[in-house]
Every structure is written in C-alpha cells, then in structure tokens.
C-alpha cells in the first residue's frame, strides 16, 4: 500500500485540529477555574534573583543525589528531540525545527512531573528512585494533571501552527529545499530577519502563557489537595506578583534548553532534570505553607 506524504499546509491544518481536540479535553478545567478563584487563596511569597539561584542550587543537589536514576529517567528527552527532528525532515517541515525544539519549554512543566515527585519525596525523607517517580500515576490528582497537560499540548500544537503561518507569510508557500538553504535565507534576507523577529515575539507570548499557568500548578497539584482551577489560578497569581523573577526564570529555562540541545539534544539528559528539580524548589519558595 502506497504511503502518502502530506504537504506542509495539510500538516499545519492537522495541528490546528489536534489543538482543538486537546482544548476540548481540557474544557472542564476552564470551567473549574472560577471555582479555584473563589476558594480561599493560598499564601504567596515575593521572590528575587537570589531565590532563583538557590532553587537552581537545590535542583543541582537533587540531581547529584539521584544522578543514575534521573539520567535513566531523562534519557528519553534527547531521543524525543531526535525523533521530532527526523519527522520534520521527513515531512518537509525544516522551518519548524526550532519551533519543535522550543516545545521542550512549552511542555516542560508537564514533562518534569516525575522529577517533582522525586524532589518531593527527598524533601520528606522518603526513599526515592526512578520507579518512585512513576508514583505520580497513582496520585489522587493525576486526572487533573492529565487535563492540564492536555492544555499544554494544545498550546504547543497551536504554536506549531502559528509558526508555520509565520513562515508562509514571510517566505511564501514553497517548502524549504534543505536545512542549509533555509538557514542561509534566514540570516541573509529581509524575509529571514522578519521571520526571526516575528517568531521570537510570538514565541515569547506563548512562553509567557505557559509560565503563568504551569510554573506553580503542576507541583501544587502533586503537593496539595486542590482543585485544578485553584492550582492554575494560584500559578497565575504567583506570576502576577513576581513578574520579573518568573520572567527571568523563563529566560534561564530557555537558555538551558538551548545549550542542552547542542549537540543532538544530548545535554538535555542533564539540563532537564536540574531544571525540573529546581522548579519544585521554586514552587516551594513561591507558595507559603
């Protein structure tokens, strides 16, 4: 049976449809948000750059404590990165290589669940190894976590569709012939610089959205018995009360993921667990009690 390779336009439309399905799956999370807003608010703290450095130091300490287990758990990240890159080449979607790679940042709060659990268990003095990280599946909040994860997947798919549209608007509908040709056009033509400027600006908005709803909500759901709406609203409040520190945290995450992606995403074996553990400690600094 012959295999049909879809063109980039069809692929982009598929991403929009998939995003719609994921948003539909997360619909009851949006309905629950108002409930979270009217519930008694959790106490929040103001943080500064020193707190970010301390969270990173604690995350590195957790990584050192569980090095072999965490490396085993996180070896999947470079594998996923390579698979995504191969798919991009296979479908003639070379311009989406960077948007695909940036998906590690958009999906990171969900992908790091096992790392949060390991840090949580270490904080409690409980034994922890990589099988214990899978304990999140048995968490009472797992259903809510999956719904929130589906929302992040929807945001990621929407970002890919928007990135494709930006490419079409700047370079036209013709697919890139090769990676070297595409990179040459990006850095030596006006259309290429427009693609960079618009892409970074729009990508920044997506990153801010994920920072606002995901930085605190996933660790909070693991740690306490709260509604999904309350977890998301607490994360938004934490961002609103600490916009500059959390924006700086987002920059640290972005730079770490870029460095970890070179070469061949292998650095993510170290970068992802350190950032995941550190995010747990950042949550502890932001949410009182």
Domain boundaries, the chain: 8-286
The alpha carbons of the chain give a radius of gyration, in whole angstroms, of 20
If the chain, 289 residues long, is cut into consecutive pieces of 10 residues, what is the mean pLDDT of each piece?
A: 47 53 48 49 92 96 76 58 58 72 79 87 78 75 92 91 91 77 86 92 92 95 93 96 95 85 72 90 92
Q: What is the pLDDT of residues 184-219, one digit of tens each?
A: 888 889 998 999 999 999 999 999 999 999 999 999
What pLDDT score was predicted for residue 76? 60
User: For residue 22, what are the CA distances in angstroms to 28, 37, 152, 250?
Assistant: 12, 23, 9, 24
What pLDDT score was predicted for residue 9? 54
What pLDDT score was predicted for residue 16? 55
What pLDDT score was predicted for residue 36? 45
Measured CA to CA, the distance from residue 156 to residue 87 in angstroms comes to: 16
What pLDDT score was predicted for residue 152? 92
Q: Residues near 248 by Cβ (< 8 Å), separated by ≥ 6? A: 49, 52
| Angle in degrees, CA 22, 25, 19, rounded to 5 | 15
Measured CA to CA, the distance from residue 206 to residue 240 in angstroms comes to: 16
What pLDDT score was predicted for residue 169? 92
CB 113 within 8 A of CB 119: no
Q: How many angstroms from the chain centroid is the CA of residue 147?
A: 15
Three-state secondary-structure class, residue 88: helix
Q: Residues near 166 by Cβ (< 8 Å), separated by ≥ 6? A: 195, 198, 199, 202
**Which residues, listed in sequence order, are joined to residue 44 by a DSSP beta bridge?**
287
Measured CA to CA, the distance from residue 96 to residue 182 in angstroms comes to: 11
| Angle in degrees, CA 188, 189, 194, rounded to 5 | 115
- The answer to whether the peptide bond before residue 263 is cis (omega within 30 degrees of 0) is yes
What pLDDT score was predicted for residue 172? 86
User: For residue 187, what are the CA distances in angstroms to 143, 194, 201, 211, 257?
Assistant: 45, 10, 17, 29, 22
Compute how many other C-beta atoms are within 10 angstroms of the C-beta atom of residue 288: 9
CA atoms 260, 261, 267, 269: torsion sign: positive
Compute how many other C-beta atoms are within 10 angstroms of the C-beta atom of residue 205: 10
């Amino acid at each position: 049976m012959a295999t049909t390779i879809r063109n980039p336009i069809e692929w982009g439309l598929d991403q929009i449809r998939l995003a719609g399905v994921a948003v539909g799956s997360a619909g009851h999370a949006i309905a629950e948000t108002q409930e979270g807003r009217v519930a008694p608010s959790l106490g929040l703290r103001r943080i500064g750059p020193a707190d970010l450095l301390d969270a990173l130091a604690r995350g590195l300490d957790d990584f050192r404590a569980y090095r072999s287990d965490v490396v085993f758990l996180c070896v999947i990240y470079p594998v996923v990165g390579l698979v995504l890159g191969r798919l991009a080449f296979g479908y003639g979607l070379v311009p989406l290589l960077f948007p695909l790679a940036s998906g590690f940042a958009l999906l990171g709060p969900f992908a790091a669940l096992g790392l949060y659990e390991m840090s949580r268990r270490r904080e409690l003095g409980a034994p922890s190894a990589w099988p214990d990280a899978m304990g999140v599946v048995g968490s009472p909040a797992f259903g809510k976590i999956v719904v929130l994860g589906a929302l992040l997947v929807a945001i990621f798919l929407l970002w890919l569709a928007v990135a494709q549209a930006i490419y079409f608007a700047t370079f036209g509908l013709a697919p890139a012939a090769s990676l070297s040709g595409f990179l040459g056009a990006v850095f030596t033509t006006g259309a290429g610089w427009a693609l960079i400027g618009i892409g970074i600006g729009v990508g920044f908005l997506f990153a801010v959205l994920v920072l606002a709803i995901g930085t605190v909500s996933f660790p909070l759901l693991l740690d306490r018995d709260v509604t999904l709406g309350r977890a998301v609203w607490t994360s938004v409040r934490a961002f609103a009360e600490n916009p500059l520190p959390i924006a700086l945290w987002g920059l640290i995450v972005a730079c770490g993921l870029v460095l970890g992606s070179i070469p061949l995403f292998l650095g993510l074996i170290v970068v992802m667990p350190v950032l995941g553990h550190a995010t747990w400690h950042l949550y502890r600094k932001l949410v009182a009690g």
